[in-house]
Amino acid sequence: MAKNLQNILIVSVSTLGSRLLGLLRDILMMAFLGLSAWSSAFIFAFTVPNLFRRLLGEGALSSALIPVFSESLEKNGRESAYGFANRVLSRALVTLLVLTGLGMFLYGLGWVLVRYAGLATHFKAEQTLWEKGCEMGILLLPYMVLVCMAALMGGLLNVLHRFAVHALTAVWLNLAMIAALLIGGLAMGLKDYKLAVALCIGVLVGGAAQFVIPYVALKREHWRGRLDFSHSQEVAELWKIFIPAVAGAAIIQVNILVSRILAFGINETGVSALYLANRLVELPLGVFAIAVTTVVFPQLSRLAAAPGRQGLAQTYGEGLRLILAITVPAAVGLALLSEPVLGLLFRWGRFSALDVEITAPILLVFALALPFYGLATIATRGFHALKDTRSPVRVAVLSFIVNLVLSLALMFPLGTLGLAIANAVSAAVQALVLAFLLARVHADFAGARVLAGLGKICLSACVMGGAVWGLWLAVRHAVPDLKLANLLAVVVVIPVSAVLYFVALWLSRFEDRHALLNLFSRFGRGKE
């Protein structure tokens, strides 16, 4: 466990830097563009390469690659494992290039249909929005090749215990986008569509850096990259895992795409509001929950490949309890303080008080789903560690149906908020069904011992929630200036309430309290 904590800390610190830069990027983007048609068009265009990043780079292909690569490394040595990796990377590169060309053609076709046939548009503003979204989509699609290849190489580095390289990947993208916003928005005075195009160029520059850095890191691990389309037993095994896994991952990503398309059709602010709320939820999710999963998954894969599978349930249980111990209080705090957090971080420039009011209830809903996102992530990795990719597909289909039905039912009476509720409910259904099936179908995970720890986590989170609400009411009553009150909520109310939560969790004799304290004490000292 100590080695796990050290690796989790490395990933957490690296990811924290990336997420904070991502937050700064979003603050600047909203300050320059606001909840406008231009920010919505950019986010809509950026959705497709991100969809494939999560589908191929960090999703199904990576989940299939890591167990097989781990097993090859364990049984056949590094040279054989690298040969297998080259076969996978070669096929991935060709597939991504073909998909990029096809996507650019479809975006171009969409642009022609919208501009000259008036497809799906009734107003000039709506037509312009779809046109610019297609134009930016064409510009951004090459990023898909760079980021997916970078993510696959990062997965290989994780197996080799080079966690920080992959965790820092998003830093280079965020720095490039921040530079594009500052140079374009401040130095050059660009606005609206021209600034959004500058942001697209920043994405491509950042994508190039994202590709080069893990490539160099792998080279230093004595990997020699070369095109290799030969067949092997390991490639055949990967395809058996990958085909059903990609179906499940595709359904999850289509869920996101459907929500954004529906939001795009509701109004010009819907896509941006959903994106912004989701990004804030991803901050605690990415810094700790995804960090835990990133470290635990390769270990689960190794234990699953070992005779007897000793320690599999224990490792899974430790990881899951740590994720819940972090995401449950984060969900409570973010839900209760959604308005002050949004007001402090984003109410600058073109992002107005009305924009805060629009986004706050959406953030509240997404925040409550935060523990379910973390649970689904590690439960899916549990299936993948055993090379069972079919079970998550079935659950993903169920989640997609729930999301689609609820989205269509709630989007008209509740607008964008209805889409957020549909997303949250479908995430909860997916997470709970996955966790239940994992313990039911695979007996190796039945001894994870989660429920007792979850009860203590929820009780401690309730104590913290009461403190958050009481302190926030006191601050609002004592401080008339809203901006100052928001600042106090973030720098005083959140830390005080977090301390109360961990004290309550410690007094409840939470099973992993020492591991959690060790993780946060190291994190606070900035030590590895």
pLDDT at residue number 525: 45
pLDDT at residue number 278: 82
Structural contact between residues 298 and 70, judged by C-beta atoms closer than 8 angstroms: yes
pLDDT, one tens digit per residue, over 108-143 is 888 788 777 655 544 455 566 677 778 888 999 999
Residues of the chain with pLDDT under 50: 2, 121-123, 519, 521-528
Q: How many CB atoms lie within 10 A of CB 229?
A: 10
| Type and span of the H or E element at 99 | helix 78-117
pLDDT at residue number 505: 83
Q: Is the dihedral of CA 439, 444, 447, 451 positive or negative?
A: negative
- In terms of phi and psi (left: phi > 0; alpha: psi -120 to 50; beta: otherwise), the region of 509 is left
Q: Which of 151, 143, 203, 263 is nearest to 22 (CA)?
A: 203
pLDDT, one tens digit per residue, over 217-238 is 988 888 888 888 888 777 887 7
136/195 Cα distance (integer angstroms): 11
Cβ density class 167-183: b for 16+ within 10 Å, e for less: bbbbbbbbbbbbebbee
pLDDT at residue number 527: 42
Q: Locate the domains of the chain by residue range.
A: 36-230
238/244 Cα distance (integer angstroms): 11
Backbone φ and ψ of 479, nearest 5°: -120, 105
The DSSP secondary structure of 402-468, one letter per residue, reads HHHHHHHHHHHHHTHHHHHHHHHHHHHHHHHHHHHHHHHH-GGGTT---HHHHHHHHHHHHHHHHHH
Q: Judge if pTM exceeds 0.75.
A: no
Q: Which of 417, 430, 292, 404 is nearest to 366 (CA)?
A: 417
pLDDT at residue number 141: 92
Alpha carbons within 13 A on the beta-carbon side of 200: 27
Structural contact between residues 207 and 149, judged by C-beta atoms closer than 8 angstroms: no
Distance set, CA 137 to CA 197, 201, 512 (Å):
10, 12, 46
CA 378 to chain centre: 13
